[in-house]
Copies of this chain bind each other. A is one copy, B any other.
């Protein structure tokens, strides 16, 4: 097969690839962090690269014409997924096309947990065997452990068994056994190593990985950190990951990422990887399956069936983490194809499962999980909210990285905006927390109506006719990083409303199923990075969650990660996790008879049936943007 060389600028990397593969595939081979939201289907338009040298066979496709500006076309921009390699090439990856370093949510709620890890170490001092008592090594060891520690019927990890004869004799019959779940000896070490016993707990997000290094003696977090999920270069959403042609590679890269994070954390506190004996992991069902290297294909099509629901303990040698090779890995149970182990983590961390009062929890992302319940009953559903709040499908959307606008206020008199960027850098785009502000601030200032339609009649040069209908200029080119105006167009608002409509449908249907209204909810937990940064009033105003008193809204940070940590240090928590996953009633929204109706009515801000939103009515009255007629219209929609 003919091979060609591609050089990448400014990275200076080179790669030889086979003739005919797509440039996107070639870039993915290098590990360069090119954004590709759709995974190479040519529909997201994010994988823009510049051909500096070398000929491309394919002439400009219709898709490329759609996503590339005239200037970009002149500068030899192409979409990497649309073109193939038939020559040696020199390619430049523009900064704007990179996933870049991101703010990651690592901290989560702290739920008090008794430290009772499954892993424990026992120091053993055996009597030397003699001809009078020539018992087998294992029999002598078991007798000793029973007598001294009261533990019986221990199984032996076969790999530990293989070296037993040598190891116990190495330090004159003094050694340490590492026991899992009071049932299995997973490894033995010469001498006394009982002080060295650590665990690693992770939250595998579609976008980010969060990791925690834990001392299993006292449960303390020794180090915590985050990293982009390196799978991201194969596509940003779970569907791209599931559909990727090589699932083994998808598994391998996430393991690589988790190992990279692990090594970083252990280096920070000088801990030996061999002394990490257990790991726990949460993630959505797709991440969970890819991490375990289970078949994930069927998660991509209806009825989205996971291979396994239960929590799973596997030996590390099946997975390949850099913890002790005889260590154990526990994945929390999942609930359904789109309600994963991360949701179980959120329920553990928020303690919904044991509360008297009614709680709702939202874990907002491309896929948003909604949980509603208390100690009696728990319902959960998944909403296909899409990646709008992560910046995708929004013209100037970006993720929470340097230069991202993360907060917006609009002056109702002047319609002039105030905004804040990450690192106070020159604005490059708009990230999730500010994306929530957009419709809320525009609604408050009457720039849009309850349907999200831009009012073209307002007196402001910031409201103008754009390429795709009317738009609002948030940042003038003179102030922006790229020197281009950063705008919010009618289509952007539509995308945001679509995303919030999906979530609203989930919360609404769960409440109907439970037989409660927004008023009945005593706690509303918002998990995840998004929840940590949003303006909760604006979020309520646009209908991301039911209209409840703001003092009931609690941000719980990376609660999925907290749940993972709880299960690392506590046997009881694992049992609870298993029970919860069985108890939860999973509600499949798509098969609910009123799904279409609720979804359509959710396209209003905050909802067609305004009667249940007295705070909004009050506000609309205040700004003189309310009429009974409007409500009637919406009611008709609602009842239709």
Contacts and interface: CB of A to CB of B under 8 A. Distances in A.
A298 B136 contact: no
A613 to B, nearest CB: 31
Contacts of A294: 161-162, 164-165
A462 B547 CA distance: 116
A295 interface: yes
B297 A166 contact: yes
Nearest to A336: B134
Contacts of A134: 303-305, 336-337, 586, 588
Contact of A136 (B138, B309, B591): B309
Contacts of A308: 136-138, 156, 161, 164
A629 to B, nearest CB: 39
A157 to B, nearest CB: 10
A interface SS class: mixed
A131 interface: yes
A318 B591 contact: no
A314 B308 CA distance: 24
B138 A310 contact: yes
A310 B137 CA distance: 11
A307 B164 CA distance: 7
Nearest to A333: B136
Contacts of A484: none
Contacts of A590: 131
Contacts of A627: none
A132 B337 CA distance: 13
A296 interface: yes
A130 interface: yes
Contact of A165 (B132, B161, B307, B591): B307
Nearest to A298: B165
Given A164-B295, A165-B295, A302-B131, A138 B588 contact: no
Interface residues of A, number: 48
A326 B315 CA distance: 15
Given A294-B161, A294-B165, A318-B158, A137 B588 contact: no
Nearest to A305: B129
A293 interface: yes
B161 A303 contact: no
B588 A132 contact: yes
A585 B7 CA distance: 75
A541 to B, nearest CB: 33
Interface in A87-142: 129-139
Contact of A130 (B138, B297, B303): B303
A203 B131 CA distance: 28
Nearest to A295: B165
Interface string A151-182: 00000101101111110010000000000000
A132 B314 contact: no
B298 A169 contact: yes
A191 B421 CA distance: 59
A528 interface: no
A306 interface: yes
A144 to B, nearest CB: 14
Contacts of A588: 131-132, 134
Contacts of A318: 158-159
A136 B304 CA distance: 9
Contact of A135 (B166, B292, B305): B305
B591 A307 contact: no
A306 B304 CA distance: 51
B131 A591 contact: yes
A183 B584 CA distance: 27
A238 to B, nearest CB: 15
A309 B156 CA distance: 13
Contacts of A310: 138-139
A591 B131 CA distance: 7
A56 B513 CA distance: 92
Contacts of A162: 292-295
A79 B630 CA distance: 108
> Which one of A134, A159, A164 has the greatest number of beta carbons of chain B within 10 Å?
A134
Closest 8 CB pairs of A and B: A165-B295, A136-B309, A134-B303, A131-B303, A136-B306, A138-B308, A129-B305, A165-B307
29 contacts: A129-B303, A130-B303, A131-B302, A131-B303, A131-B588, A131-B591, A132-B591, A134-B303, A134-B336, A136-B307, A136-B334, A137-B306, A137-B307, A137-B308, A138-B307, A139-B309, A158-B318, A161-B292, A161-B308, A162-B292, A164-B294, A164-B295, A164-B308, A165-B294, A165-B295, A165-B296, A165-B307, A166-B295, A169-B298
Interface of A: 129-139, 156, 158-159, 161-166, 169, 292-298, 302-310, 312, 314-315, 318, 334, 336-337, 586, 588, 590-591
